[in-house]
Amino acid sequence: MIELDDAQLILIVVGAHLRAEVGDRPLAYKLHNRISAWLDKRSEMLGLTIVPMVCCDVWYMNQQALHGRPTISVGGPGVNALSAYFAQKLPAALARDDHLIVQLDAEFVDLRACIWGMDHAQTVRAVDLFVEKYLDGYLRAVATQVEPMGES
């Protein structure tokens, strides 16, 4: 088993709900792969270890020590408790016709993000838009921010 240092993690959180497991977990792994590719391409330049990890909302919510880590929640508030929480805390960076939303601090001081749509197809589109518009800036902030913003 690989030993992980919590300080190295970027968490990608999905709901502990059957619909989330079927629809959102594959999207989370797609995002995990994109993050891993970004990190691999820049590994020598970064000089630090960053490890993306997919986990469920129940586990994350019960691990207080991780709440200050960079975190991306995937899936709607109906199937992901963390998304329900973030929906009340994070600003909308991108919203399309009340069908999909990407919530995050566009200046990347707060490294929490929430990505979801009104149905699976819209959640797929929201993840794609996050990757296209925000992932590079988000990961640059993760790589350079000394102390992630704490729970608010």
Residue 19 one-letter amino acid: R
Q: Is the pLDDT of residue 112 over 80?
A: yes
Q: Please tell me the predicted confidence (pLDDT) of residue 2.
A: 65
pLDDT band at 1 (very low <50, low <70, confident <90, very high): low
User: To 5 degrees, how large is the angle CA 41–CA 104–CA 79?
Assistant: 100
Q: Please tell me the predicted confidence (pLDDT) of residue 148.
A: 46
Q: How far apart are CA 104 and CA 122, in angstroms?
A: 17
Domain at 8-144: CATH code: 3.30.379
> Using the 8-state DSSP alphabet, how is residue 24 labeled?
I
Q: Please tell me the predicted confidence (pLDDT) of residue 145.
A: 76
Q: Please tell me the predicted confidence (pLDDT) of residue 100.
A: 95
Question: What are the residues facing 51 on neighbouring strands?
Answer: 9
Which one of 3-7, 68-72, 93-97 scores highest in mean pLDDT? 68-72
Beta strands in 2-152 (DSSP E): 9-14, 51-56, 71-74, 92-96, 100-104, 112-117
Q: How far apart are CA 125 and CA 131, in angstroms?
A: 10
Q: Please tell me the predicted confidence (pLDDT) of residue 152.
A: 46
Q: Is the pLDDT of residue 149 over 60?
A: no
User: Taking a C-beta distance cutoff of 8 angstroms, is the pair 22, 74 a contact?
Assistant: no
Quick: pLDDT tens for 74-101. Answer: 999 999 999 999 999 999 999 988 799 9
Residue 63's CB is within 10 A of a number of other CB atoms, namely 13
Residue 21's CB is within 10 A of a number of other CB atoms, namely 15
* Coil/strand/helix, residue 80: coil
Q: Is the pLDDT of residue 131 over 70?
A: yes
Judged on CB neighbours under 10 Å (0-12, 13-18, 19+), 51 is middle
| pTM score of the predicted model | 0.91
Q: Is the pLDDT of residue 12 over 60?
A: yes
Domain chopping of the chain, boundaries: 8-144
The closest of 109, 97, 90, 103 to 130, measured between CA atoms, is 103
